[in-house]
Amino acid sequence: MSAAPLLECRALTRRFGGLVALDALHLEVRPAEVVGLIGPNGAGKTTAFNVVTGIHPPTAGEVSFEGRSVVGLRPSAVLQRGIARTFQNIRLFRGMTALENALVGRHARLRTGPLGAILRSRRVVEEERAAVDFAMELLRFTGIERHALARADSLSYGDQRRAEIARALASEPRLLLLDEPAAGMNPREKGVLNELILAIRDRGVTVLLIEHDMRVVMGISDRVVVLDHGQKIAEGPPDAVRRDPRVLEAYLGSAHA
């Protein structure tokens, strides 16, 4: 592939005291890819997400998005640059509806300030109406439109996952980071999720995916990157990674012994 990387991590290192969670990681994600990031528990996968999205600063190294550094930016600024994410543990506003949660995600793209919200100009009203329409379209896209007015805490686990994805997409990201989206889903829900992730890619959003379910990650990824103890030990097409002896020893072998 000759396309310039959308996301590039160079020599990315993150230490927590004496623990090295990421050790000189080099990672590239190109436009229109689905990239799977796998590895055993404690391999550094979620730490990589947290560093990329500004939750944790790197101890060393660089993170570039569309050729510009995002190191030092707050998570809200990283979101505005075009990187959105979901979380391993669902972080919806549980007392709000699915629609309201999606509208929270849309806030990153609204231009109305506090004064405009008070004055309620025609432009503000039109922007709010457009935000609701966009949020509803995303609920349709993710398959939960019928639950638009339901509280998040009343949704099934799978629908909460989809609501969180809709909220992330509401910011119109160019890169979406999904942290174990299939966790807690049954086989049917996982099949629907696979279709949704590919539809997100077809929508023009690049996807970087952490997932423990090998059937999910191997079934939809263009490339798979494997971490172990914070280091990249393998990278390539799913079939090649599946057969890599280092992967079998560090992750797949222990998972399927």
Distance between CA 175 and CA 1 in Å, rounded?
Answer: 18
- What radius of gyration do the chain's Cα atoms show? 19
- pLDDT at position 19 is 95
Distance between CA 134 and CA 125 in Å, rounded?
Answer: 14
- pLDDT at position 248 is 83
Distance between CA 174 and CA 162 in Å, rounded?
Answer: 18
Helix (H, G, I), strand (E, B) or coil at 26: strand
7-82+173-255 folds as Rossmann fold (3.40.50)
0.75 surpassed by pTM: yes
Nearest to 29 by CA among 220, 215, 207: 207
Name which of 102-111, 117-126, 188-197, 202-211 the model is least confident about: 117-126
Task: Give residue 184's pLDDT band: very low, low, confident or very high (50, 70, 90).
Answer: confident
Name which of 2-16, 86-100, 118-132, 224-238 the model is least confident about: 118-132
pLDDT above 70: residue 257: no
Q: What are 178's two structure tokens?
A: 């999904």
Task: Give residue 202's pLDDT band: very low, low, confident or very high (50, 70, 90).
Answer: very high
pLDDT above 50: residue 1: no
- pLDDT at position 216 is 93
Residues 6+ apart with CB under 8 A from 89: none
Q: What are 119's two structure tokens?
A: 């004055």
Count of positions (residues) in the chain: 257
* CA angle (175, 176, 178) in 5-degree steps: 150
- pLDDT at position 124 is 65
pLDDT above 70: residue 255: no
Of the chain, the end-to-end C-alpha distance in Å amounts to 35
Within 13 A of 242's CA, how many CA atoms are on the CB side?
11
Helix (H, G, I), strand (E, B) or coil at 225: strand
Task: Give residue 3's pLDDT band: very low, low, confident or very high (50, 70, 90).
Answer: confident
Helices (runs of H) and strands (runs of E) counted in the chain? 11, 10
Across 203-220, average pLDDT: 94
pLDDT above 50: residue 69: yes
**Residue at token pair 């990249």:** 232
E strands, 116-257, are 175-179, 206-210, 223-228, 231-236
Domain range list for the chain = 7-82+173-255
Name which of 75-84, 147-156, 247-256 the model is least confident about: 247-256
Distance between CA 118 and CA 208 in Å, rounded?
Answer: 39
Name which of 63-67, 104-108, 234-238 the model is least confident about: 104-108
Mean pLDDT over all residues of the chain?
A: 91
